[in-house]
Amino acid sequence: MGNTYIPESAMAIFAHPDDIEFSCAGTLARWAKAGARISYVLCTSGDVGISTPGMTRAEATRIRETEAREAARITGATEIIFLREPDGMLENTRDLRRKLVREIRRFRPEAIICGDPTALWGGDDYINHPDHRAAGWAAVDAAFPAAGQPNLFEELEAEGLKASKVRKVFVVQWEGGSTFVNIDDTIETKVAALKAHVSQVSNLDCDSLLREWAAGAAKGKEMQYAETYRVITLENDEFWKDYIQKNGQA
């Protein structure tokens, strides 16, 4: 299925700086160009992701957050949030879920994009990072049902962060997805955003790599480049229209 849906607001929840650029920045850039408000929420700052001798975690945090801010700017994100959970040791805890629910209730996204928490094997030469899986589980659990339940995390209600339902969850798929977002017009933006992560990709041909992946995703479709998702629609058109009228959402 091709996808022409444009949310009024969207939140991308991932583990590390550069995860968004490798996976879904083309979709987010497309939505941003169409006027959507875009929020990036990164669970860690990737502070163990630079192995240069003498590198400290504090300096790595500074470098990688700077790179992530530039990548978000290139893509057109409205904001970027760093939760600064332990890099390499991320867990889907109650505390992390509360932090994500806080951000969802504050920003009130119509759609959320996250990684697939069930993705473990990437062919015969890659094991999906445990932080990726933990971030995916935490994002899904925060999106539904936690963010929309007023009697869950009541302390957030007391702070004025009212329950906020999410309409759709876009789960990034390496293969086998059913929704293909056309990124023909934003592939160059995606490449530029990934190149902003100099500490991670200086030895990669970002342009060739991302175009190869996106072309493979689009094979057989009426587009040249695509990003692939499984999309969960939590609220249908009729409910959503009524909900935003009553709650002022999106």
Average pLDDT, the chain: 95
Chain segment 39-78, per-residue pLDDT in tens: 999 999 999 999 999 999 999 999 999 999 999 999 999 9
Domain range for 45 is 2-247
Amino acid making up residue 245: Q
Helix axes 130-143, 94-107, angle to 10 degrees: 60
Cβ pair 18, 194 in contact under 8 A: yes
- How far is residue 202's CA from residue 67's CA, in Å, rounded to a whole number? 12
Q: Tell me, what's the pLDDT at 153?
A: 96
Overall number of domains in the chain: 1
Note the pLDDT of residue 250. Answer: 54
Provide the CB-side half-sphere exposure for 64 (13 A, CA): 28
HSE of 125, CA atoms in CB hemisphere, 13 A = 0
CATH number of the domain within which 198 lies: 3.40.50.10320
Q: What is the mean pLDDT of residues 158-165?
A: 95
pLDDT at 1: 46
pLDDT tens, residue by residue, 215-241: 999 999 999 999 999 999 999 888 888
pTM of this prediction?
A: 0.95
